[in-house]
Structure formats: C-alpha cells, structure tokens
Amino acid sequence: MHSHIDPTPATCDQAIRTELPAHEIPNIQSVLLYLERKGRSPETRRTYEKHLKILSKLADLRNPLTVELAIARYKLKDGRPASNSFKTKLCDAYGNYCKHFKIQWEKPTYTEEPKSIQPPTTEKCEMLIASAKGELSLKLDLSVQTGLRPCEIQGEKGLQTKDVHPDTKSITPRSRKGCFARPPIKVTESLIARLQAHITKHNLKPEDLMFFGNTRRYGEHYRRCRNRLARKLADPTIATIRLYDLRHYYVTKILHRIQNTEIVRQIVGHKHLNTTQRYMHLLAQNNGEWIVEGTTDRERAKQLLEADFTYQLTAPDGTMLFRKPK
C-alpha cells in the first residue's frame, strides 16, 4: 500500500489532509463499538476517537508503517515536537484499531517524561474553595479532603449518594483504574453537612450520582474559577494549580501523617506502590515544618525574601504570606 506520508519531515499542519477520509469514518465507529463492548468509558472512547481521527488525516490506518512514521514525526501547531506522553496516547489509540481489525503491529515505546508533583499549599487550597461558588466549591472541598480523582467525583462513575455516610462522617470512594476496594475516608462535619444539604436540595436517591455532568465539565469550571482568583490577587502561581494537584495535596498530607506508603496506597487507590513512593521526596524536603510570616509592608517583604523566605500568596486583605523551612 502506498504511504500517505511525505518522506521529508513535516509538521502535522503540513502533512495533514483537509478532511477525514470518508472510508475511515465507519471504521473508527466500529472501533468505538468494540471499545464499548470491552467496557471502556465514554470519556475513554471519545479520546480514542479524537486520536484516531488525527492519525487518519496523517496516514493510512491500514498501513502500520505510515502510522508509526506519522506518530514519530507528529508536531504541534506551533511546530514544536509532540511530547512522548502524547505520542504514547496516539499509539494506544492505534493499538486498539489494530486489535479490532487484526492488523499486525508492534507498538513502539516512547519513554514518558516524569510528571512533576507540586502540591499547592493549604492556604491556596482554602482560597480556591472559598472563591468558588455553589457545587464547584463543594466539589473542590471534596477533592481536598478526600484526594478523590476528578473522575471519582463527577462523571458516570463518580460519587453516588450512598457513598456519603453522615453517621461516620466519611466518604467511600468507588474503585477506579483497577485498584482494590478502598476504605472509607474521614471528612469534616461541615463537609458532611454541605453534602447532605446538596442531597436534600436535589432530592437525590441512594443510587443517584451526586453531581451531574462529566469530568471535563468539572475541569472547565475549575479552571475559570482558578484563573479569576489568580487575576484578582495578581498571583500567577495560582493559575498553575491543576485540578489534579488537589489530589497531590491530599496524598502528600496523609503520607506525612501516616508515614506508611502501603497504607496510603490503599487509601488513595494507587494500583502500584511505586506510584505512592513518588511522593516521598516531598516529605524529605522539610518534614512539613515551616516558619511562616505575613506582612502588608513591601519593605518587610523584601527583607523576608533576602532571608530565604519564599512568597506563597496574597490574602484578600492584602497580607503577603511567606515561609521557609525550619
């Protein structure tokens, strides 16, 4: 079969066809039905559909060599090479295409760049919750207090009403990503009260989802709220806090308290122990002990920076908070 890829390197914009090949539309739909039969979630199927459409515009999906070359050369719209992480996702999508149509293909391995773990401070978490409104504030509070993944809070496999236990002031996470059943997670009385008010307001039954909508919607609402807060406080560091960083905050906090990676692994639902162990270096930095100082005076702020304090955030009343390890 002839390759649809020019032998000279090109960006995706230079190599891409203007339209999705008509013959691939039913093929991709067939793969999506195959994935549905395999129990893949709607979000996973949407992601694979997106990636297969990208590849079908760059290569002949029936010719693995052209696809492999397209993935290797894939560049972003600004001309920068795609990350190995994204190339791996393209490979995963095409791997399912090959399985479905029984195409022989040895999937290439791209070493994924290690993802940095940068938990936000307690102060910033509290400010994000306080600045949000309604359901978003409630979901952020849940994220911070339980470390649940966004997909475990909102989405088709998100939190259900029956997972909230007012008598024991706890939340039972629903298992995700192949991990074992997880123990109930203790939360504050105020959060339980907020959840009960939410259940009553929407007349939710035990099997009902606590929050309607998908995970993508949760992320979009969060980013808008976060960016507004960053602009309001003129603090660009707030705009770097990802929704998943709230989970990082919880894992780091509970690991510092329990100091046992295996127990923490079970609580947070990591499938592999080495995932939990990635957080250990954060504890080794300072054991969570800090000298914290706040000021509204700019000269004092300069003195603190010269004394090796690190700026954290500016509170709504104008107080600038700094800290350094003890």
Whether residue 266 sits in one domain with residue 228:
yes
Residue 13: band (very low, low, confident or very high) from pLDDT cuts 50, 70, 90: very low
Residue 25 domain-assigned (yes or no):
yes
Residue 94 domain-assigned (yes or no):
yes
Of 39-43, 136-140, 255-259, which has the strongest mean pLDDT?
136-140
Separation of alpha carbons 89 and 110, rounded Å: 10
Q: Provide the residue type at 93 as one letter.
A: A
The whole-number pLDDT of residue 176 equals 62
The whole-number pLDDT of residue 44 equals 87
Whether residue 184 sits in one domain with residue 69:
no
Whether residue 178 sits in one domain with residue 38:
no
Whether residue 76 sits in one domain with residue 23:
yes
Structural domain range at position 174? 122-270
Write the pLDDT tens digit of every residue in 250-298.
999 888 888 778 888 888 888 888 788 777 766 655 455 566 677 788 8
Whether residue 141 sits in one domain with residue 38:
no
Whether residue 240 sits in one domain with residue 184:
yes
Fill in the DSSP letter of residue 81: B
pLDDT of 321 strictly over 80: no
Residues 47-74, mean pLDDT to the nearest whole number: 94
pLDDT of 11 strictly over 60: no
Whether residue 234 sits in one domain with residue 138:
yes
Q: Got the DSSP string for 197-235?
A: HHHHHTT--TTSBSS-S-HHHHHHHHHHHHHHHHHHHT-
Separation of alpha carbons 140 and 299, rounded Å: 35
Residues 297-325, mean pLDDT to the nearest whole number: 75
Separation of alpha carbons 146 and 141, rounded Å: 8
Write the pLDDT tens digit of every residue in 178-204.
566 788 999 999 999 999 999 999 999
Q: For the purposes of burial, counting CB atoms within 10 Å of the CB of 216, is it exposed (0-12), middle (13-18) or buried (19 or more)?
A: middle
Lowest-pLDDT range of 15-19, 32-36, 281-285? 15-19
Number of domains within the chain: 2
Whether residue 260 sits in one domain with residue 186:
yes
- State the average pLDDT for the chain: 85
CATH number at 266 reads 1.10.443.10
Residues 226-251, mean pLDDT to the nearest whole number: 94
Separation of alpha carbons 48 and 96, rounded Å: 9
Residue 61 domain-assigned (yes or no):
yes
Domain-terminating residue out of 43, 71, 101? 101
pLDDT of 322 strictly over 80: no
The whole-number pLDDT of residue 3 equals 43
The whole-number pLDDT of residue 16 equals 46
Separation of alpha carbons 126 and 184, rounded Å: 23
Fill in the DSSP letter of residue 239: G
The sign of the dihedral angle between the CA atoms of 53, 57, 59, 61 is positive
Whether residue 141 sits in one domain with residue 73:
no
Distances, alpha carbon 120 to alpha carbons 99, 128, 136, 191, 255, in Å: 41, 10, 18, 20, 15
Residue 254 domain-assigned (yes or no):
yes
Write the pLDDT tens digit of every residue in 158-179.
899 999 999 999 999 886 665 6
Residue 293 domain-assigned (yes or no):
no
Whether residue 75 sits in one domain with residue 41:
yes
Domain-terminating residue out of 270, 289, 313? 270
CB 291 within 8 Å of CB 324: yes
Residue 177 domain-assigned (yes or no):
yes
The whole-number pLDDT of residue 14 equals 40
User: Where does residue 288 fall: left (phi above 0), alpha (psi -120 to 50 degrees), or beta otherwise?
Assistant: left
Provide the percentage of residues in the chain whose pLDDT is more than 90.
54
Residue 56 domain-assigned (yes or no):
yes
Residues 302-316, mean pLDDT to the nearest whole number: 75
Q: Which is nearest to 247 in space by CA: 170, 145, 155, 160?
A: 145
Whether residue 193 sits in one domain with residue 223:
yes
Whether residue 140 sits in one domain with residue 89:
no
Residue 323 domain-assigned (yes or no):
no
